[in-house]
């Protein structure tokens, strides 16, 4: 025991003052040796000292005490020496010599005010309410300090639960996604969104290390002999520039059971060069393996060979149907208020469902409850302001953000005749409120709105908007049980206003609305089992299209496609089961049930024949809320992790998913006027199964992360469309729809360097994605019913994001992308008809456009780090497409004056330099 203590104490270095358990000491000595004094105290009192004699030296000490506290006595004795003392239970006092190295360190600071307290066994508590000197200074070095939880005793348990709360020392905000890792036992955890964490530690000494981006790392020795609580107050790191984008928790790569998950912090994407200076966390996501988009101007993402409509994009628990502005070139998420983006592409947690391929979870920051703060930026496309407003100190705060473009102004200022009638503008606004009612109850509410408007010709104006609202009440019943109640509503709509020269002016509108109620509970049964379970229910309402005449003269006939409604309900359950130290399982199960609801008219077609006017058997009418059709299905979400060695693990997972809402698009890429359609009598839900297997290894104290993942995915009922399908204002959409099968597989390699002057990542993916549209009938047959590459099948995809920090203030970032060109449908000849030549198209996607590559650079200048400075500024000078590579985005064939002209188009064909200025206050 004594040996153990000695070891621990060797690592510690600061004075700890015990606050209770004192006995008065009456003693007097002059020019005495310390050993003698200690012996005297031992005879006079019950205190017993443990120490190495050599440490105490020979310097004589003097003193005179009358019923004084033991601390006072020891304080005087050891004043000016390197000896620390610890008052342990049972009146034992351990002495310890300071770490020698400490003396040689620069006058550092120890900015970690901390508390530990016993949860159990109050009577025997020796709480160490240690108080350290806090010079309120910044230091890059952290010293190790020791805390003890409980005392050593004979126990049947060899693991204890440590819980706690982590706060930003400066702002008082909770720190989410902070990783806490016990270095010796490779156990790790992450703080939740509210800054709470729970970790199971083996008894005895644990070296806990915290790390998170923008937060100074901290190491602590924790001697644990009982369940307890340990809070952290951490400083912001001044080395923010160091990382470009790094996962917040260092060991997660190898430790967590989930596969194919990625996390990107919004703040840390600021260095990565982007087009026109607009920070775009979604575009950065596409530099990671398994996530791609069709091209630069494409809205939507393709995750592991899935369609763009197969991603569930949620912001603070509410679905956001179109998270981009301006055809996907800019994100519709405020980079200042967004905390991070978490992407699940492999194992999707059982609590999520309804989309086949992935979950994009965007979380906004909690407002700072202590201090008013703000951030603003000025760029060539948008300006942006975000404010954090504390309402009730340490309880509630509001965060507001607003961005708007002035591209209208840019368009108008360009001396370009053809742009005179064009306009494009967008804005988004966000409001988030967080309120900590007490330790057990917390409320968060988010409201968000984004809108885009564009018109290219003078007669039509397009606009689309997202609106969402979410409310979350987090409640902790006790240490083991907690729950979240979530209510969310999202709406996406678009309008087309046509105001032409003739009498055919009209307004067209589309709208989808969903209301989501979810109750999610968490039960920590014991150290082996953690349960997450709950119920989720969504009510959809879609207005597939309305057209109305505009103006008195318009002869447009008003038309309205009947509203669609449906209810999607799911029960979910998952058990994170620690089978052994090496094997961790996540056994998830979701059962979803979908009810297409009336009022509606559904058409029944002859079995086994193409759905068309001629095969219509009958039309069936359904009353309001009458169930038209029920689809149900089990969804298995299982994953496991097994440690093969130190920082080396293998993981496997199986995922099945159902999707009941689909986009209707006969474009090769997503367009803002694509509509969403609910499954009904004729359109079946899409289904997918995915197997994945991966190896994960961290090197050099988690500085390097290496992962290799493979997946194989099959999907059914993928929606596709007949050639030149009419999708807007079509009451019989099912006659245009083809439902086929999908097949995708791939290998993803990722190497990340998290720390140091040079950091970043290298990702490479080899993947394929195929679709099959087979039928007995020629009109429903594509490519003879064989598998053909999907529009986003890009076998080779390489991304390098690297950042080099010259000094604290200057850094250079670069981004390099190489991708196989995407498949396009290319004519196999041409023909003459009515005096003009036309391109003759046959099979789909047989041709590929040239390979894509692009290099971007950015140079970042961070304002100086003086805390007194009113505002902290940040300059970003970036060049997008430095090489000026003219990457073809599409090829197309136009008949002009009767002749065919072949064209290829690219979106950013020249280097685009940009300067943006950001400041925080």
Interacting positions 220-259 with other proteins (CB under 8 A) = none
- Kindly state whether residue 829 participates in binding other proteins, applying the rule CB under 8 A: yes
Q: Which of 827, 851, 853, 920 binds other proteins (CB under 8 A)?
A: 827
* Interaction residues for other proteins, span 551-610 (CB under 8 A): 555-557, 559
Give me the torsion for CA of 725, 728, 729, 733, rounded to 10°.
50
Judged by CB under 8 A, which of 825, 858, 860, 876 binds other proteins? Answer: 825
Interaction between residue 897 and other proteins (CB under 8 A): yes
DSSP annotation of 226:
S
**804 is a site residue for other proteins (CB under 8 A):** no
Q: Is 547 in the site for other proteins (CB under 8 A)?
A: yes
Where does residue 767 rank: exposed (0-12), middle (13-18), buried (19+ CB within 10 A)? buried
Task: List the one residue from 29, 47, 462, 533 that touches other proteins (CB under 8 A).
Answer: 462
Q: Does 907 bind other proteins (CB under 8 A)?
A: yes
The Cα-based distances of 17 to 44, 73, 789 in angstroms read: 21, 12, 70
- In whole angstroms, the minimum distance from the beta carbon of 245 to other proteins comes to 25
Task: Say which residue the tokens 């601390």 belong to.
Answer: 71
Which of residues 259 and 912 has its CB atom nearest to other proteins in the complex?
912
Residue 908 is a binding residue for other proteins (CB under 8 A) = yes
**Binding residue for other proteins, selected from 47, 165, 321, 327, defined by CB under 8 A:** 327
Q: Using the rule CB under 8 A, give the single segment among 398-406, 534-542, 825-833, 854-862 that binds other proteins.
A: 825-833
- CB–CB of 162/229 below 8 Å? yes
Touching other proteins, residues 329-368 (CB under 8 A)? 329
> Measured from the CB atom, is 169 or 822 closer to other proteins?
822
Q: What tokens does 67 get? A: 């019923």
Contact between 915 and other proteins per CB under 8 A: no
Query: Among 650, 729, 751, 762, which residue sits at the site for other proteins (rule: CB under 8 A)?
Result: 729
Beta strands in 700-829 (DSSP E): 704-721, 737-753, 758-772, 788-789, 796-805, 810-819, 823-824
The first and second tokens of residue 653, run together, are 């997972």
Stretch that binds other proteins, among 15-23, 397-405, 476-484, 899-907 (CB under 8 A): 899-907
* CA-based max dimension of the chain: 119
Rounded to the nearest whole angstrom, what is the least distance from the CB of residue 581 to other proteins in the complex? 52
Considering only CA atoms, which of 382, 403, 435 is closest in space to residue 174?
435
Residue whose entry in the numeric block shows the structure tokens 């530990």 = 116
List the beta bridge partners of residue 711: 692, 746
Question: Is residue 763 within 8 Å of 288, Cβ to Cβ?
Answer: yes
134-173 binders of other proteins (CB under 8 A) = none
Nearest CA to 687 among 758, 633, 735?
Answer: 633
Residue from 847, 853, 875, 919 touching other proteins (CB under 8 A): that is: 847
Beta-carbon contacts of residue 882 (< 8 Å; ≥ 6 apart): 855, 856, 857, 911
Q: Which stretch binds other proteins (CB under 8 A): 132-140, 637-645, 711-719, 896-904?
A: 896-904
Confirm or reject binding of residue 193 to other proteins (CB under 8 A): no
Q: Is 669 one of the binding residues for other proteins (CB under 8 A)?
A: yes
Binding segment for other proteins (CB under 8 A), chosen from 164-172, 386-394, 398-406, 893-901, is 893-901
- Using rule CB under 8 A, residue 459 touches other proteins: yes
Examine residue 489 and tell whether it contacts other proteins (CB under 8 A): no
- Given a contact cutoff of 8 angstroms between Cβ atoms, the answer to whether 230 and 164 are in contact is yes
CA distances from 832 to 899, 900, 901 (A): 9, 10, 14
**For other proteins, which residue of 621, 796, 901, 915 counts as binding (CB under 8 A)?**
901
Site for other proteins in 764-793 (CB under 8 A): 778-779, 781-782, 784, 791
Are 699 and 756 contacting, i.e. CB atoms less than 8 angstroms apart?
Answer: no
Q: Tell me which stretch binds other proteins (CB under 8 A): 125-133, 498-506, 693-701, 739-747.
A: 498-506
User: Which of 411, 539, 541, 650 contacts other proteins by CB under 8 A?
Assistant: 411
763: how many CB neighbours lie within 10 A of its CB? 23
Q: With contacts defined by CB under 8 A, how many residues of the chain interact with other proteins? A: 100
Q: With binding defined as CB under 8 A, does residue 844 bind other proteins?
A: yes
What crossing angle do the helices spanning 34-44 and 70-78 adopt, rounded to 10°? 170
Distance of alpha carbon 50 from alpha carbon 53, whole angstroms: 9
Q: Which one, 110 or 462, has the nearer CB to other proteins?
A: 462
| Nearer Cβ to other proteins (131/410) | 410
Bridge partners, 118 (sequence order):
228
Q: Indicate the helix (H) or strand (E) that contains 877.
A: strand 872-880
Of positions 81, 504, 543, 775, contacts other proteins by CB under 8 A: 504
Nearest approach, Cβ of residue 308 and other proteins (Å): 12
The answer to the question of residue 61 lying near other proteins (CB under 8 A) is no
Binding of residue 317 to other proteins (CB under 8 A):
no
Q: Which of 362, 375, 342, 374 is nearest to 446 (CA)?
A: 362
905 binds other proteins (CB under 8 A): yes
């Amino acid at each position: 025991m004594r040996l153990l203590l000695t070891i621990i104490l060797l690592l510690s270095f600061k004075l700890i003052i015990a606050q209770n358990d004192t006995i008065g000491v009456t003693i007097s000595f002059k020019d005495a040796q310390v050993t003698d004094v200690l012996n005297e105290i031992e005879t006079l009192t019950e205190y017993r000292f443990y120490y190495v004699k050599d440490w105490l030296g020979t310097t004589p000490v003097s003193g005179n005490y009358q019923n004084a506290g033991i601390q006072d006595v020891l304080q005087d004795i050891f004043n000016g020496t390197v000896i620390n003392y610890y008052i342990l239970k049972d009146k034992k006092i351990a002495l310890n010599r300071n770490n020698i190295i400490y003396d040689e360190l620069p006058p550092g600071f120890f900015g970690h005010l901390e508390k530990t307290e016993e949860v159990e066994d109050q009577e025997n508590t020796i709480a160490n309410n240690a108080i350290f000197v806090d010079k309120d200074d910044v230091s890059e070095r952290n010293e190790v300090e020791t805390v003890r939880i409980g005392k050593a005793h004979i126990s049947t348990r060899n693991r204890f639960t440590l819980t706690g709360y982590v706060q930003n020392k400066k702002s008082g905000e909770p720190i989410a996604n902070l990783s806490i890792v016990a270095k010796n036992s490779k156990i790790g955890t992450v703080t939740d969104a509210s800054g709470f964490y729970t970790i199971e530690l083996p008894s005895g000494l644990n070296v806990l290390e915290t790390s998170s981006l923008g937060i100074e790392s901290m190491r602590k020795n924790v001697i644990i002999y009982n369940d307890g609580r340990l809070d952290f107050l951490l400083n912001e790191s001044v080395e923010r520039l160091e990382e470009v984008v790094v996962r917040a928790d260092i060991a997660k790569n190898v430790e967590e059971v989930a596969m194919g998950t990625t996390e990107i912090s919004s703040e840390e994407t600021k260095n990565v060069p982007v087009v026109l200076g607009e920070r775009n966390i979604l575009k950065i996501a596409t530099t990671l393996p398994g996530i791609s988009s069709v091209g630069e101007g494409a809205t939507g993402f393709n995750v592991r060979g899935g369609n763009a409509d197969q991603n569930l994009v949620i912001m603070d628990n509410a679905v956001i149907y179109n998270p981009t502005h301006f055809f996907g070139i800019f994100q519709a998420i405020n980079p200042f208020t967004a905390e991070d983006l978490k992407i699940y592409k492999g194992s999707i947690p059982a609590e999520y469902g309804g989309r086949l391929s992935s979950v994009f979870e965007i979380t906004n920051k909690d407002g700072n409850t202590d201090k008013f703060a703000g951030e603003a930026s000025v760029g060539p496309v948008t300006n942006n302001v975000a404010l954090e407003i504390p309402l009730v100190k340490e309880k509630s705060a509001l965060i507001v953000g607003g961005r708007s473009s002035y591209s209208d102004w840019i368009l108008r200022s360009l001396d370009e005749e053809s742009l005179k009638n064009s306009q494009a503008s967008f804005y988004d606004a966000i409001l988030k409120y967080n309120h900590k009612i007490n330790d057990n109850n917390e409320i968060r509410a988010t409201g968000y709105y984004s809108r885009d408007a564009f018109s290219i010709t003078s007669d039509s104006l397009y606009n689309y908007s997202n609106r969402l609202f979410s409310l979350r009440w987090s409640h902790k019943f006790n240490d083991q049980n907690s729950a979240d109640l979530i209510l969310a509503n999202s709406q996406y709509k678009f309008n087309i206003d046509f105001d032409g020269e003739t009498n055919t002016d009209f307004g067209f509108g589309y709208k989808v609305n969903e209301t989501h109620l979810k109750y999610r509970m968490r039960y920590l049964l014991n150290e082996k089992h953690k349960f997450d379970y709950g119920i989720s229910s969504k009510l959809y309402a879609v207005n597939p299209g309305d057209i109305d005449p505009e103006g008195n003269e318009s002869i447009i006939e008003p038309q309205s496609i009947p509203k669609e409604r449906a209810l999607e309900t799911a029960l979910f359950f998952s058990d994170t089961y620690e089978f052994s130290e090496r094997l961790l399982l996540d056994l998830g199960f979701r059962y979803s049930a979908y009810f297409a609801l009336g009022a509606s008219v559904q058409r029944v077609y002859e079995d086994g024949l193409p759905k068309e006017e001629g095969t219509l058997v009958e039309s069936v009418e359904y009353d309001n809320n009458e169930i038209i059709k029920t689809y149900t299905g089990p969804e298995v979400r299982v994953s496991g992790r097994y440690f093969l060695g130190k920082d080396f693990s293998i993981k496997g997972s199986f995922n099945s998913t159902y999707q009941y809402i689909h986009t209707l698009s006969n474009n090769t890429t997503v367009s803002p006027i694509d509509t969403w359609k609910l499954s009904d009598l004729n359109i079946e839900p899409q289904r997918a199964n995915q197997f994945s297997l991966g190896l994960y290894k961290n090197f050099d104290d988690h500085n390097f992360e290496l992962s290799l993942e493979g997946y194989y995915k099959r999907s059914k009922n993928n929606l596709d469309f007949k050639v030149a399908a009419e999708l807007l204002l079509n009451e019989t959409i099912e006659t245009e729809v083809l439902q086929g099968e999908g097949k995708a597989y791939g290998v993803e390699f990722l190497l990340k360097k998290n720390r140091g002057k040079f950091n970043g990542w290298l990702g490479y993916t080899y993947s394929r994605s195929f679709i099959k549209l087979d039928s007995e009938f020629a009109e429903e047959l594509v490519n003879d019913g064989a598998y053909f590459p999907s529009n986003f099948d890009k076998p080779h995809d390489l991304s390098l994001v690297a950042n080099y920090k010259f000094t604290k203030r200057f850094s250079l970032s670069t981004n390099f992308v190489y991708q196989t060109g995407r498949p396009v449908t290319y004519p196999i000849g041409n023909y003459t008809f009515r005096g003009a030549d036309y391109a003759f198209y046959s099979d789909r996607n047989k041709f590929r456009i040239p390979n894509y590559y692009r290099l971007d650079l950015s140079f970042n200048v961070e304002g100086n780090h003086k805390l007194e400075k009113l505002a902290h500024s940040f300059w970003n000078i970036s060049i997008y497409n430095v090489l000026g590579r003219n990457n073809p985005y599409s090829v197309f064939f136009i008949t002009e004056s009767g002749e065919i002209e072949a064209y290829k188009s690219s979106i950013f064909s020249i280097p685009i330099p940009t300067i943006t200025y950001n400041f925080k206050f």
